[in-house]
Amino acid sequence: MERTKYEFDYETEAVIVADLIVTKKKKPIMLVRADPRTELLEWGLKELIYNLKYSETFFPYAMLVQLEKMQIFKWDGEKLSEPIFVKKSEEIFQDYDQEFSQKRIFEHYLAALTEVWIHDLDYNWKMENPPGSKELAEIGLLELLKGTQTQRKVVLRGEVEEWW
């Protein structure tokens, strides 16, 4: 059966854009999905898995950041582990935005707060022991996040034409 002009295969043709990626010496470390939707909590996890599975880049770790909580998982190329790190988002972000729990948060801002927190874990520019650093150290991730770089809105598969 011939496809029409507007049909495509989501598994092989959809463009994948990461909210945030973490790399170390140009090596992928973590894919981050920032999802502020409160009414569709399960979709954030489904989108994270989709992005990992169909990306042209392998990320050994994945982070799902939602308004309620932040979770980090290991990714083996086929499935996510159970969360290896879980923390309330408010506990993480309240020191970076004191009004975090009182205002509407959009995806790009949630990704930016996450990026700020990851840089604080590395450089300790805001505080000596950023929230979650003890738990991340216990599982070996704090050391892995030292010396990393972050980048937002990265195309992981496909091409995106600039329209603005």
Residue scoring higher pLDDT (73 or 42): 73
CA dist list (Å): 101 to 34, 63, 98, 133: 16, 20, 8, 21
The mean pLDDT of the chain is 89
Percentage of the chain surpassing pLDDT 90? 73
For residue 105, which amino acid is it?
Answer: I
Structure tokens at 59: 């990320």
pTM comes to 0.88
Interval 59-102: pLDDT, tens:
999 999 999 999 999 999 999 999 999 999 999 999 999 999 99
